Amino acid sequence: MRRTLGHSGIEVSAMGLGCWAIGGPFLFDGKPDGWGRVDDAESIRAIQTAIDLGVTFFDTADVYGTGHSERVLGEAIRGRRDQVVIATKFGYTYDESAKEITGTDVSPGYIRRACEASLRRLQVNEIDLYQLHPGEAPAEREDDIWAVLEDLKAEGKIRAYGWSLGSAEAAERFARNTSGVSIQHSAHIFHDPKDLFDAAERHGLANVINSPLAMGLLTGKFTADSQLPADDVRAAGHSWVPFFEGGRPVPGFLAQLDAVREILRSGGRTLAQGALAYLWARSERAIPIPGFKSVKQAEENAGAMAFGPLSPEQVEEIRSIVDGMVKAS
């Protein structure tokens, strides 16, 4: 299972791995934005195992762990650079010593400094996919952002660029005004953004899908009694985390998952593998990037590629069930 990043010619595995969780603890708006404590040695083993299993695409950001995720990924791929495609992001500012996000900066000068810092942490000479991280960049600054990214391409610092965004309107502007190759956004059985999938199809962009497992809810490991620790982003009370309240799974999402459980597990898949298979069936441009903190999780995610996508009929059945439950509530 292979995908191409838009018109770039850069080929990647149909599933990547998202490296947010391996960045370790850090803060956003004064609240935890990481996924708890991490074991760097385990993270490195997980990345190398995933490569052995055919995963070639790894997505991180300079702000994950305020630089730590990039450093861990860079260490893991030493000696294997030619086997992987590396994506990272820019646009948030941070205090590395305080482990805290401090704001945003998308000025050309900052983008250049951020790029150089990411290159050093990743221990690479070129970033394959460099993505604008803030989803709503100031409209008056967009032309300047795209111009400096084109310059970085010409200089051999990056191979291609994309935007992590949340609206089809932004995707249309991006496609119309740039030579960018990808949009990154969330999608899963609970949230199927047809307008973003359609925009990518219309303009030949790749859909890099973050939170494909709904921040872990679609792994099936949570029950109504589950309680996440206070240092986990899912327990921090961020308004943009819909699946958990006070560190507990939202009952409505658990009910929806239970209603489609057997469809997702068809063909011998695990629930997580079924959730990834749903996205491959949803679009041939979809590249889900589930997170991980262990070798076992990396193995399970990579194993999804052996099963391939769900059938169109299964996707239609899932949509009918989930959408019907949402309307009924």
Per-residue confidence (pLDDT) for residue 136, from 0 to 100:
85
Angle at 129 between CA 286 and CA 204, to 5 degrees: 45
DSSP calls for 182-215: EEEEE-BTTB--HHHHHHHHHHT-EEEEESTTTT
Per-residue confidence (pLDDT) for residue 265, from 0 to 100:
98
64 in catalytic set: yes
Specify whether the CB–CB gap between 27 and 33 falls below 8 A.
yes
Cα Rg of the chain (Å, integer): 19
Specify whether the CB–CB gap between 294 and 302 falls below 8 A.
no
User: Which pLDDT tens digits describe the chain residue by residue (329 residues)?
Assistant: 999 999 999 999 999 999 999 999 999 999 999 999 999 999 999 999 999 999 999 999 999 999 999 999 999 999 999 999 999 999 999 999 999 999 999 999 999 999 999 999 999 999 999 999 999 877 788 999 999 999 999 999 999 999 999 899 999 999 999 999 999 999 999 999 999 999 999 999 999 999 999 999 999 999 999 999 999 999 999 999 999 999 999 999 999 999 999 999 999 999 999 999 999 999 999 999 999 999 999 999 999 999 999 999 999 999 999 999 999 98
Exactly one of 64, 92, 130, 278 is catalytic; which is it?
Answer: 64
pTM of the model: 0.97
Question: Which structural domains are found in the chain, ordered by start?
Answer: 9-216+273-310 (3.20.20.100)
Q: Give the span between the Cα atoms of 316 and 234, in whole angstroms.
A: 29
Per-residue confidence (pLDDT) for residue 197, from 0 to 100:
98
